[in-house]
Structure 1
Amino acid sequence: MLNVQPQDVATLPDHARGQAVAVEQAEAALVEHYARLVRLAYLVLPPSLGPGRRVLTAHAVTQRALPRGRAADVPDAPAASPSTLRAWEVPPQAARSGAGAGRNGDPGYAYLRLQVLRTALRAGRPFSWRTWPRRAHLPPLLPQVWGLRLFPRSGSAAELALDQRLSALSAPARAAYVLRGLERLTDADVVAVLASAGAADPGAALREADGLEARYELLESSEFDPCSLQARPTDLVRRRHHMKAAAAATAAVLVCVALLAMPGSGWGPDGAAAPPYAQNPAAEAALDPAKLTKVAPTAWKRSARTDFSAWPARGNLAGDRTLLRRALAVWARPGPSVQVSATPGTPAGAPPGPAQLLYAGEVDEARVVLLHDGLRIVRYAEPKNGTSGAALDFARVDGATAQEANAVVVARADGNVRYLTAPWVSATSLRDLLKPDAEPLELGRSPDGVTDPLAGPTRAGACRSWNVLQVQHDASTRLMTDLGELVPAHLTSGRPETPREATGPLSLAGWARTACSLAAVRSHGVRSVNLWQYARQQLPEGNGAATWMCTRAETWRGTGSRVLAHFLEPGQAAGAVAAKAEDSPACGTREPHVLAGVLWKSQSGAWYLLAAGSRQVVSVQATGAVSGSAQGHVLSVRTQQGAQVGLRGQLANGRGISALR
């Protein structure tokens, strides 16, 4: 039994009056119910924080819930107004209900729950620039994780839908819903707890929560469990760029110090170079926000081109000249603190002249500007408060058509991505490529065309989902996938000479078995990826029929294409990559042929060399450790495990073809 001293007691609000809470008792309740309290904080905190910061903030809020020092007083709950009591029929005995007793009558848990709710509700209240922000508004000092992004495990479509609906509620309404569903409190108890936590109108919060379907069992799922987390690395390529930029900046500072220390005029003559922005009308024009091209909202309807040049200027900050000037200046000469990234083959230099404004507005916790100079899409982002930590991203988009100019990444955080869609996109939805039979989920958009957050494809570990953006334009439906760059890649299927949109049942079934291989072409400046089923082959010993497919990723720069050949056994959910090549014309419009082989083990344990080519291949020959040939475009030869084999094929026109390697 605890020996409670008078100075060790923390008082509870009115609805739990009479139950003294010792600091040790609160600590014991925190240890016992830590996971539940963290889940409660995570659900009530503002979704705008993003999953990563929400997780760390939920843990910080819970860990700060203990009384400070040896004793703490909880302010009395404000009396509910008569109208609130009448609206919710709170009986007089509500003050003596179990709301204050917490789980199993534990006053320590009730005290901690109240503190967690109070802090989480404060985090959801906007603060004025006239006052200092509260601690709940700021990122937590502890805990902190460097080099990793943590977020709860992904749930089903039902949990995702509930999370989106909860994000639309106010913080008190979310708290009311969670207290009902997670804590199993009555309406009277919910009103009492919310009033004690500082909610302005608990009755209104309860009424708002009533508008949400009572799927309380989903609150217990892993989607809302900030104690069972997935860990992913931060952007490793960008981190490497940061280190290189820091090293370059340090070297530049040392050179500057050395030059300034030399006698004479210091910097010396500039020669033919002009000082920044001085005596250079073209450079000055490129940095003048007033000279930015702003396309009219309906110009795309009359334009002969359906590419980025027809996009109108959108966003609530499109008229903020100060922001636009900062974006243009950072584009021209980014400072050492600016995080700069560019897709392969994309120049990262200053604008050659006045650019086109696509978007300027607030997205999540950042101010974002999207610009287009005819060759590149440029994204400038800075925090809402200050300019420290600004980022500048470049992506090459020259020659874009209506198939590729449907969306641009406007924000990416904690594994989620938001897109700015083209003005001609009439509808957007989310589709998981690994679930070809599932209906796509509707993805909301703001009036400016910015989509709701979309969970990005799996980046590490087991590939359990691959979410893509599906866009509707007139009668066309297209799939776009995020490959870690500003412009998503367009997914197609079919023969290389006549690719089609990958939205039909057969195309979706093929992508379901090969989608996870898209991770191999991340951050390579990919413009489009085509999937082609080029052969079917009967397996030896009556083991069924295998399918051969190839994917070809084309880049915006025209070089660096990547080709993968997939071998899909019957009954297997995912195919195996049999061969791959870079900068190869195979499986493309210039060379619509392909040949690949694989060592395969039958159900009886025997090993075979299997090879297949496209229909234009009329014979296949094996060399090396295995000798054999076959007329036609498939080959099956008995061999040994680990055999080193070469393959050659012949086309109908007599020309030879080599296997992918």
Structure 2
Amino acid sequence: MQSQDVAPHPASASGPAIDVEQAEATLVEHYPRLVRLAYLVLPPGLGRNRRVLTAHGLVQRALPRGRALSAVIPSQSGGRHSAGASHRSGGAGGAASPAAGCDGDPGYALLRLRVVRTALEAGRPLRGTAWPKRSQLPPLLPLVWGLRLFPRSGGADELALDQRLSALSAPARAAHVLRGLEGLPEGGVRRVLSAAGVADPAAAIRQAASVPAEDALLHSPEFDPCALQARPTDLMRRRQHTKAALAAAAAVAVCGALLTVPSGGWGPDGAAADAQNPAALAALDPARVTRVAPTAWQTSARTDFSVWPARGGLTGDRGLLRRALAVWARPGESVRVSATPGTPSGGPAGPPQLLYAGRVDAARVVVFYDGLRIVRYAEPSNGTDGAALDLARADAASGAEAEALVLDRTDGNVRYLTAPWVRAAVQRDLVRPSAGVMDLRPADGVTAPLATPARQSGSCASWNVLQLTDGSGTRVLADLGELMPAHLTVGRPAGPREASGAADLRTWAPFACSLAAVRSQGVRSVNAWEFARQSLPDGSGAAQWVCTRADTWRGDAPRVLAQFRTPGGRSGVVAAQAEGVAACGAKDPHVLAGVLWKSAGGAWYLLAAGSKDTASVRTTGQVNGSARGSLLTVRTRQGVRAGLRGTLTDGRTVGGLR
């Protein structure tokens, strides 16, 4: 808003005298409507919390100071509304429609003028050469500590209107609100703006006409500062900086004369972004979303989400895209929002890339990619109630990690959207690798429904996985209840390979059900490494030691399992586990674990095994034993407690996984 848009207001004009008690009664009766008027005229760049408090403060200070005051403009007659219409106050919601009965009240006309004038002043930038007006400073009252107050969130239409109003100058915004909320004709709007000190009311009215008249939206709860939601401020920061705030307050008291206010005015709710930020506005425009050419992946050296084309039958539905972007930027209370651990949940920083928009089963689904996250918006086909927003990290995803994402879940089934270079997609049971596969027949990248194991309870008899084939090979992905399926590999941590060969699938089979231990933890990949085979002391064969390590998109390991499987055993037994450790990973490709085992003859043994570069193993605690090499077998008794220590071939020591 430019300061030259508002001139000093005229001192007075003839009009009926207004008694202050009459004005107070009018203010109380029409308080919700006046506060809504102030909220809409105030610059959106103040932030929603600051606008709410400022709007209430301006209306509460609108009463004349003397016992009586002459109205600065004559009473206005109704514009689009019947002169005989009765007016009802907006109540708590303040959503009453304007009527002549109210506009013919000189007390209301005076209060409305004072509210518009001070709201225009509040948006003018502070100047170092002049003292600020009271309306330009943060309101002293009302004052709320420890809470942020803001109106209930509306839909995409309300958000779009708010963005359009923010692009207007303050006088033009006031003209639009007086026309739409108050129902004043053009002449009435011109008189109010002129009395409020606007230098060129005609220009403001012309600019306001560029925004389509959407009067019903002005009465939306989105713009009702009397029906509020409350949220805490940043509790951790508040706790951590209490002492600093006290010291700063003391410094301000001593050196206040040396402090200056920035030329842009007081910050909108702390570090909140300017509502007129061009990047933020562009991010909400469906016409600006990035669309990659359908053949871009064929000539690109990249194999990630950045070369996925926009697919689906609704990529041209701007209304759907606008709703998806609006919900992403500011989800309402009715929207179910989920994000994998470590995923930022804020709105888009700029126009995102569109990966998909179409109908899937009983929903309309939109999928975006912003270089860091995959964002999926879903709403029912017959409305918007029950919309959902899911976010997942996908930074640096490439190859197998960028070949599929979850598009929809319905009745225990999941559909995937696959990369354009995927040639075949099949369902395979990881528990029974020799069983046949089911062709998922991707159509425009969307697979047929796949039964998901992500919510199994009780015994684990199967674990369905997605097997994809492209020009470079075959990969296996597991659904762990998130947008991004986990990439399954086998082999030594320093050089894992795809878990797609027959032998590799057999390695995974006894340990497939252990994937449930890392469900919904933002897992990027899971590697199964057979680090040892140990002959059992009763001569019944060799046991298998396998370490499964899950790595997340955050870079840590939520779960490392050392599992023990005897000959003929259907599944492995967890012998040891740890969280957040480097063991069994590329940075520390070593592991040592032990288990108490009972032979068929009833004898108890402590069996321990380490990776191949383990030079010796010894026990601590209630069991005494040691052995050269990576394997240890010690006769013991049931229920003993023992620890393990190993020495590597380079002289370093390792402890048992725990």
Q: TM-score range by the shorter chain?
A: 0.5 to 0.7
Match of 1:394 among 391, 397, 402: 391
8 Å Cα contact 1:249/1:336 also seen in 2: no
SS of equivalent residue, structure 1 residue 450: coil
Letter paired with 1:404: E
SS of equivalent residue, structure 1 residue 547: strand
SS of equivalent residue, structure 1 residue 438: coil
CA 1:276/1:321 → structure 2, altered by over 3 Å: closer, same or farther?
A: farther
8 Å Cα contact 2:151/2:227 also seen in 1: no
CA 1:386/1:257 → structure 2, altered by over 3 Å: closer, same or farther?
A: closer
CA RMSD of aligned residues (A): 2.4
2:385 and 2:550 mapped to 1: Cα distance?
A: 36
Find the counterpart in structure 2 of residue 595 from structure 1. 592
Q: Deviations over 1:278-331 (max 9, x none)?
A: 422221101001110000000001112110001000010001111000000000
Q: Deviations over 1:163-211 (max 9, x none)?
A: xxxxxxxxxxxxxxxxxxxxxxxxxxxxxxxxxxxxxxxxxxxxxxxxx
8 Å Cα contact 2:150/2:225 also seen in 1: no
- Quick one: percent identity of the two aligned structures? 63
Give yes or no for the alignment of 1:453 onto 2:415.
Answer: no
Aligned positions of 1:177-192 closer than 5 A: none
8 Å Cα contact 1:480/1:488 also seen in 2: yes
CA 1:261/1:454 → structure 2, altered by over 3 Å: closer, same or farther?
A: closer
Match of 2:491 among 474, 484, 494: 494
8 Å Cα contact 1:425/1:473 also seen in 2: yes
Aligned positions of 1:560-639 closer than 5 A: 560-639=557-636
1:319 and 1:508 mapped to 2: Cα distance?
A: 42
Give yes or no for the alignment of 1:554 onto 2:559.
Answer: no
Q: CA deviation at 1:540?
A: 1.0
* Range 480-489 or range 437-446, more displaced: 437-446
SS of equivalent residue, structure 2 residue 324: helix
Find the counterpart in structure 2 of residue 531 from structure 1. 528
8 Å Cα contact 2:549/2:557 also seen in 1: no
Give yes or no for the alignment of 1:299 onto 2:296.
Answer: yes
Q: CA deviation at 1:252?
A: 8.2
* Range 401-410 or range 274-283, more displaced: 274-283
1:581 and 1:278 mapped to 2: Cα distance?
A: 46
SS of equivalent residue, structure 1 residue 336: coil
8 Å Cα contact 1:308/1:400 also seen in 2: yes
Q: Deviations over 1:208-239 (max 9, x none)?
A: xxxxxxxxxxxxxxxxxxxxxxxxxxxxxxxx
1:511 and 1:409 mapped to 2: Cα distance?
A: 23
2:390 and 2:366 mapped to 1: Cα distance?
A: 11
Q: CA deviation at 1:439?
A: 2.5
Find the counterpart in structure 2 of residue 357 from structure 1. 354
Find the counterpart in structure 1 of residue 343 from structure 2. 346
Find the counterpart in structure 1 of residue 268 from structure 2. 273
SS of equivalent residue, structure 1 residue 643: coil
1:389 and 1:290 mapped to 2: Cα distance?
A: 25
Higher relative contact order (CA 8 A, sep 6+): 2
Find the counterpart in structure 1 of residue 478 from structure 2. 481
Q: Deviations over 1:549-573 (max 9, x none)?
A: 0111110110244211110101111
Q: CA deviation at 1:276?
A: 9.1
Q: CA deviation at 1:251?
A: 11
Q: CA deviation at 1:425?
A: 0.2
1:632 and 1:450 mapped to 2: Cα distance?
A: 51
Size of the aligned set, in residue pairs, is: 406
Letter paired with 2:290: T
8 Å Cα contact 2:354/2:368 also seen in 1: yes
Give yes or no for the alignment of 1:405 onto 2:416.
Answer: no
8 Å Cα contact 1:277/1:284 also seen in 2: no
Letter paired with 1:369: V
Give yes or no for the alignment of 1:439 onto 2:436.
Answer: yes
Q: CA deviation at 1:505?
A: 1.7
2:382 and 2:400 mapped to 1: Cα distance?
A: 37
Q: Deviations over 1:507-562 (max 9, x none)?
A: 11111100000000000100011111100001112121101001111101102442
Find the counterpart in structure 2 of residue 163 from structure 1. none
Q: CA deviation at 1:642?
A: 1.4
Letter paired with 2:445: G
Find the counterpart in structure 1 of residue 131 from structure 2. none
1:258 and 1:567 mapped to 2: Cα distance?
A: 63
SS of equivalent residue, structure 1 residue 592: coil
Q: CA deviation at 1:641?
A: 1.3
8 Å Cα contact 2:364/2:379 also seen in 1: yes
8 Å Cα contact 1:531/1:550 also seen in 2: yes
1:279 and 1:417 mapped to 2: Cα distance?
A: 40
Give yes or no for the alignment of 1:336 onto 2:364.
Answer: no
SS of equivalent residue, structure 1 residue 328: helix
1:376 and 1:298 mapped to 2: Cα distance?
A: 23
CA 1:634/1:271 → structure 2, altered by over 3 Å: closer, same or farther?
A: same
Q: Deviations over 1:146-177 (max 9, x none)?
A: xxxxxxxxxxxxxxxxxxxxxxxxxxxxxxxx
Aligned positions of 1:3-402 closer than 5 A: 260=226, 271-273=266-268, 278-402=275-399
Letter paired with 1:468: V
Q: TM-score, normalised by structure 1?
A: 0.59
Q: TM-score, normalised by structure 2?
A: 0.59
Letter paired with 2:331: P
Q: 5+ residue gaps in structure 1?
A: 1-247, 263-268
Q: CA deviation at 1:459?
A: 1.8
SS of equivalent residue, structure 1 residue 323: helix
Match of 2:646 among 645, 649, 654: 649
Q: 5+ residue gaps in structure 2?
A: 1-146, 153-221, 229-263
CA 1:249/1:280 → structure 2, altered by over 3 Å: closer, same or farther?
A: closer
- Bigger Rg, structure 1 or 2: 2
8 Å Cα contact 1:568/1:574 also seen in 2: yes
Find the counterpart in structure 2 of residue 470 from structure 1. 467
CA 1:270/1:529 → structure 2, altered by over 3 Å: closer, same or farther?
A: farther
SS of equivalent residue, structure 1 residue 541: coil
Q: CA deviation at 1:475?
A: 3.9
